[in-house]
Each structure stands twice: as C-alpha cells, then as structure tokens.
Structure 1
Amino acid sequence: MKIFGLKNCDACRKALKNLPGSVLVDIRAEAVPEAVLSAAYAEFGAKLVNTRSTTWRGLGEEERAGEPLALLRAHPALMKRPLIERDGELFLGWDQNVQSALGAA
C-alpha cells in the first residue's frame, strides 16, 4: 500500500502509523506517477485539489483557473492528502470512511 502525501502532513503521518506495511511517498521529493494521478483525478475530480491550502491561496486567479492536473504537476502540495493506493484502488483523505474501508478505524 502506498500513501502519497507529505512527510510533515499530520493526516499522512496518522495514515502511515495506522496502516502497517504502508509506504509514504513524499510528493515533493518524487512525483505521483502519471497513471495514479490521472486515475485519481478521474475518480475524485475537483476534490483532488485542496483549495484550502496555503499553496492555493498563494496562486493568482489566472493560475487557479488552469487545468487541475497541470496545477497538481506544477504544485504537488496542492493535492488533497493523503492519496492512498491499495491494489489499484484509490482512497482520498483520512476520514472515518477511508479508515473503515482500509480497516484502520
């Protein structure tokens, strides 16, 4: 199981702690694989972009209006975290539903 996120993100650290055998992939150090990013965008759409982040607030209106996948490639920290991949299945965030689905609740 892979957790795509940031090493200093609280939600990512909680997911890593509660999912034994999982691996954290720091999205600033190594990009989310294109196939995973595209599949995540196809499944979650606009929810994949974290519009409450500091990075989002720092973008200009013109940049915010850009294509979401291009924004995520240019600014990995814009992605809602964590994005968890388990056997080809994707989960976004670390709420009760995700925790239950992954058996971590």
Structure 2
Amino acid sequence: MPAEWHTGNANDEGDQHRGWMLGHFIEPSDSLRATGDLEVKWGVHPAGQTRPEWTAGEKRTTLLILVSGTFRLDLPGESVTLQRQGDYAVWGPGTDHSWHAVADAVVVTVRWPSLA
C-alpha cells in the first residue's frame, strides 16, 4: 500500500530537482509527490541571482509566491517586484518570463499541469 503521508524539508528534498518537490519528475515509487497534476518548487535565491535566459513557449499556468526577500519577475513589457511577504504573481501558458533576486529571496512556485 502506498504511503498516505510524507514529511520532509523543502531545502533538502528540493536539491534533487533544482528545488522542485512535487511533479512528474519525482520517482514513481514516491506516490504522494510524483504527480502529473502540478509542480511545486521551493526556490532559495541569493541577492543578484538572475535567470539570464527567458523561459519561452511555456505550456503551464504558474503561481509565484514571495516568502521572504525581494524578487523581480520580468514579463513581456513589464517587470513586477515582489517585496512584501505574500506578494504573488500568476501568469498563463504562453507568457515568457525571467527573474532576478533583488535581495536574498525565498519563493514558492506552483505550476500546473506537470508536463515532461
């Protein structure tokens, strides 16, 4: 019978998949975290860290929530700075994006569905 619950640490478990803790890429034997429904990431970004290339052709909807720090999200034609705990942004499929950690930042990212 598969496990009915799981506990862990986002920093430790996320290291295996660049911060992603739930999604299609988790080993199938980990039935609670392996899913095609969504992906969840715990992102720890030091000040100055930038995604140099833009993500293009995205086929998922994305939610980004600021836990701490200051984080700039670059979207076509606009940049949004998340600076208050709980600030968030949501964007849909086909929206290109990039980002920059203005100050040390922790963010939670949720994408759906989880696609290979």
Quick check: TM above 0.5? no
Q: TM-score normalised to the size of structure 2? A: 0.27
Q: TM-score normalised to the size of structure 1? A: 0.29
Larger radius of gyration: 2
Normalized per residue, the structure richer in helix is: 1
Normalized per residue, the structure richer in strand is: 2
